[in-house]
Structures are given as structure tokens and as C-alpha cells.
Structure 1
Amino acid sequence: MNVHPSAGIVGEYLQPLLHTYLLQGGSLSTLAQHAGVSEAWLYQPPNTVNVDQYLALMSVVESLTCDPYLGLQIGTNMRLQNFDFLGYALANASTLGEGLEQVLAFESLVHNLGTSEVKKESGNIHFIWHSQYQAHPISRHLSESVLGGLIHLARQLAGKSIPTLEFTFIHQQYAKTTIKEYQRFCQGQCHFNSNQNSILLAEEVLAWPIPQSIRQALSSIQPIADNQLDTLTPLKKKQLLQRPTQHFIDQLQQQIHLELMRGTPTLAKIADNLGQTPRTIQRRLTEAGSGFQIELDNIRSQLAEDYLRYSTMSILDISAQLSFKEQSSFNHFFKSRFDVTPLQYRKQKKITHA
């Protein structure tokens, strides 16, 4: 485990920022030149990086990419291995709620960019992040990367999308961004000029279990997390975390969840993501007594219930999120599954939880 000074971050926490930059066609040599560091430093950052240096690097990436959603993109690229010991603690959690407790307990071992607190409010959970650098010029992207990273980690652990009731940010909305894009990422309402950076979730969502298949995928690192953390290099940790131990169906379902966040899942896209041919995917699904459309429709049904119960997304936005071309198609699909329309379902669940 890396122990860092009071104004530092663990070196692995740099990786989502660098990955975001490289995905947009950037080169490390250009970044190194503008940031005043060596390429070797970027390839293998020290165990501890000064916060000022991290924020300066984020500022350079912003200027080179001109990406108005840079913070959210960084959050999307965060992985458990970027969080040092906290990542291993999250891998041990059995529910999302337990995972949140680990964040509160071990956040300071990863960075000192800010502090987190949780408040319970009428059946909901309010996660609030207090930035230590709210006045910094890059604070907008910093706050969005932290909150975006938290919800993205929750998606990784749950193996599916996480519906939210509300995201709030202290900063103003940047002129070149759209509320629609923020709400697509947040999967709930998003507000700016607030008095806090926060995420509001239904308390029931935190009771969701972390699937056994996902915990098994991380099980190989548990003895090391307990006994050998000090002897592992960041590269070794990454290799252990990436071992392909999940069952085929679980992997396929996770890919469908990911593609639904990006657009419309297709057999060809999923096959490419899994490094297999569409014919192989079809054959293996048939052997398992399933099919691609069956898996897609089951996931759509599950997510539709979650969004209607636990998010403030409009039914039109939900239908788009689930890749239906028209709301009427979504309404027909939902009623065929649940014998009620989406609006009737949402009203029933609100009465139930009142």
C-alpha cells in the first residue's frame, strides 16, 4: 500500500487522465513537453504525485484536447486498480452500500483532493464531496471527474447502470456543454450553481448486491490484498485485476450494459468487444439456452424498472437510454413485459414507497 503525503495522490490515480488524453489521439511526447515532465515520468509515475502537479497536468490536457466534458471522461475511465488499497477494499464489499463505506474510510489513502460525507434524507442517500480546490481554475473538471468516477466504479461493481435521482455541482454549466449530455451520463437530473457537489441516490440502490461473478473475477487478488500489497508494483496489480475469470454470459451481459450507455448494442459490437466472431457468440448462447435478443431484452427490462423506480429521468429519456427509436416502441415493449405502461408502473411504485 502506498502511503502518501498530505497533499498528494497515488501515482495510479493519474492513469484515467492519461488514458482519456490518449483516447482522443494525444501523444505522450506532446503532453510531456507542455507539462514540463519527461515521457518516462508519464509512462511510470512515482508512487506519490503532488496535487499541484496533478491539477497542472489536467489543465494541460484540457488545453490540448479542448474537451468540454473532460472531467466526465476521466471519471468514465477510472478503474479499481487506480485506487490503490481502496480498490482492493471495494473488491471485498458485498453490496454497493458497503462499497460506499469503504470510500469514506479509505479515500484519504488515494488522494487529498477533497473529503466525502453521506447523509440520509427521507429514504434517499446524499453523497456530498467537498473539494479542497474549488477555487482552482480546473475545479470544474476535477469535481466532475470525482463524482463521475464514483458512479462509474459503482457501475463496475454492480455490473449494470446505476440510476440516480440528482447530480449537483457548485460550478456553472460550461457554455459548450448540454444538459442532455450530462443527464445521459448521470442517468438522472443534473443541476449547476448548487451549494454542493453531490449525488442523490435511492437508499434501496445501495442495498444492491455486488454479483458473485464480479467478486470472483477479483478473488485472485484477495490474498495479495491482505498479505502482499507492499511488494506489488502497480503493473502487477493491474495484471491481476484484468485476469479473464468471468463466465461468458456474465461478460456478455456486462458488454450489453456498456454498449447501452454508448448507443445501440449489436451482436457485431459485442462480439468485437469480446474478441470473438458473431457466429461464435450465437453458438455459445444457443448452448446456454439463450440468445442475443433474449439477453438484450432482459437487460432492457431490468434497467427500465430501475430507471422508473430510482431515477428522475423522463420516460422519453429512458426509452432513448435503452436504445428504442421511439417512446411508443418502448411503451409497447414494457407493457408486453409488465402488463402496465411505464407511466402506470412509475405511479404504482411511488405509491408503494410513499
Structure 2
Amino acid sequence: MKKLVALSALAVLPFFHSATAQELTPDIINGADVSILQTGHPAQTSPQPDPAIIRLQVLLDRAGVSPGVIDGLDGANLKKAIAAFEAMQRLPVDGKLDQEVAKRVADGQQVIGPYKVEPDDVADLVEAIPEDYALQAEMKNLNYTSVQEKLSERFHMDIDLLRTLNPGSKFAPGDTIAVAIVGAPRTGAVKRIEARRDAGEVIAFAEDGSIIAAYPATIGSQDNPSPEGRHKINGVARNPKYEYNPKVNFQQGKNKKRLTLPSGPNNPVGSVWIDLSEPTYGIHGTPEPSKIDKSGSHGCVRLTNWDVEELASMVKPGVEVDFVK
């Protein structure tokens, strides 16, 4: 195993990976010092999860600034989370980890811990989710396809990282596995939301203007732009069905008729739909959390399922949503 490179947080040096994916263990990750990470380093030719980045992502997640999936990789969503944390802490905002950010985000607690797989974790799985909406519409539900997928979302992790941390595990009831120790969902009353299109980010504000939470987001696309201006939340639907109408939204494959897709986390809008006053638009979840802000949406605001569930618990009808550039 390569030795951790003890770089100063302010040093203008590339960041070297401290361990290969095969060498990752909870002890390595829990011992990683986030202050060695300098974001903005040159892209690695073969990126692999890094213990220091895993630790930083978990700490940011606990602080209420979501890095998206915890995958141990540097990237735009990590930089956005650092910048949101700086804004939350009223620090100069540049999206780079420095000594002050490292000091404030650290909580002295482990970031990887044990979890015992329960019988309920293997219940209500489906064999596969077909891509064709017509076939999805014939299913009873669109639940998770594996225990790994279910637990990776519960602990805000990339499924590949979960597997890497638990080589050889069958994820069967009674097995003890290593997972990210994420924080409790944020609480509070969100009074205003900014959907920042160019940044690919959603910011939730309290009545006094302080930031309650921040999330990476997919906000429309070039072919299907998001709305502009100010809108309001009409309401929240949890575990929603999805009404597919090619005449209103888009055509998926050869499906030219209206379809009702069953509910489930692998539904096209995920586990929550936050309805907006602009018809057919909303803030919703996704069956593919690793693609947040990496592929376009059909005009809506797409978050990970766990992020939109948290946001939905803090909003009420009438909350303003500003789409800003």
C-alpha cells in the first residue's frame, strides 16, 4: 500500500492516490486526513476511490452540503459541495479545500462503520428494470434490483464503492458489511429554493437567508431546458407513480401512447415528486444517482433520491423556487 502523502492543504501540488481500490479498508479511510486533499489537481488517467476523498465526502454530507454519491472520486460535485459549505460557514467561496474548511468540516467521528444486513434488506426486490416504459408499466413496482443497490442508496454511496469496501460479501442477512456513516437528514423550514442552472446545484434557504442545505442537481438540458423565473411548490408526492405522456413531455423509444408506470425508487422520477406551479415540471429523484449533473434531464430538477427526500421534508406548498443562471 502506498503511504499517505502528507501535503499541506495550501500546497499547490497534485494529489496522489493513497490507496488502490483493492487496498481500501475502513481503517485506512477512517484514518485519512482530509487536510491533505487539494482539489483541482490534474485528472488521473485511471481514477480510483481515494480514502481521503471518501472521508471528505462523508463529512460534507453530514454537514448538509451533499456531494452526490459518495464514490471517493474528485469532481465537480465535490467542488460544489465544498463551495456550498464555505458559503454556509460564511467563508470566502472558491470551492477548494483549505485548512479552515478542513478544520470546520471535521467532526472527529469515523466515516466508515459496520452494518448488519437485515432480512428486510433482501425483501421486495425485483429481478430487473427494463428500459422500455411499456414493459415498466406492466410491472407491479419499480423497486431495487439488489441488496447492494438498496444499501448503496440508503448510505448515499456509489454501488461500486460499496462492493469495493466489501469484497467477497454476499450481502446476505446476518452479514456485517462496511458502509458510510452518513448524518441524520437535515431539518428546518425551507423558505426559498434556488435552482442554479449553469452550476447544476439546488440551494435551500431559511427565512433569514442562511443556507440550510445544498444539493448537486441535473437541471434541464440543451434540448429540454428548465423553466425560467420564479415558481412555487404546489405539493409533495412520495413514492409517486409516473404518468408518461409523449404529447406533453418527450417520446421514449417507440412508445406513442400514455402509460402509467408504477412507483418505486427506480421509477423515472425516483422516490419523490415535488410539484411546481409550472405545469409538468417538478423537483424529483432518479433511478441513477451517479449521473446527477452528468447527463441532462427533460427540463425538471433531478436530485438523488436521498437528497430529494430530505428536501421534501423541509418544504411546504407556497415555497418559492427561483431558476437562476
Normalising by the smaller structure, the TM-score range is under 0.3
Higher strand share: 2
TM (norm. structure 1) is: 0.25
TM (norm. structure 2) is: 0.26
Higher helix share: 1
Whose relative contact order is higher, 1 or 2, with alpha carbons under 8 Å and at least 6 apart? 2
